[in-house]
Amino acid sequence: MKNLFLLPLAFASTFSFANSQAYLITEFQVINNLVTFKTQPQKATNTPSCVDANNKDSWAISLNDHGSNNLYSLLLGAFDSQTPVYLTSTEQCIAESGIEKLAAVSVN
C-alpha cells in the first residue's frame, strides 16, 4: 500500500525530466565556494527575474548548501566527458550573483 503513494511521485519526477532540455556544459568555474557553469543550447525554461542579462546561459551552486558536493561531482564528470545533462532550477538566484541556482541534475 505504501508503494502506491510513491507511484505518483515517481511519475511526476520522470515526467519533469522527460520534458526538459538536454544541455552540454561548456564552461566550468569554481571560485571559493561558488561553482558556476555555462550551458548550450540556451535555456528552454524561463529564467527568474533575479538573473542578470549576461548570465542567462549560466547556472550556479554553492558548495555550502546541503547536497551540493554531489551536484558538483556529477556536473564535473558531465563536463569532463561532455555528457548531456538535464537541469532543474530552484527558480531563485545565488545571493548577490545574478546567476540562477541549480536544484537538481539528471544524466541519461
Residue that is written with C-alpha cell 555550502 in the block:
64
**22-107 has which fold?**
OB fold (Dihydrolipoamide Acetyltransferase, E2P) (2.40.50)
pLDDT digits (tens, 9 = 90+) for 36-78: 999 999 887 788 999 998 999 999 999 999 999 999 999 999 9
pLDDT digits (tens, 9 = 90+) for 20-36: 789 999 999 999 999 99
Cα(17)–Cα(105) distance, integer angstroms: 9
DSSP 43: -
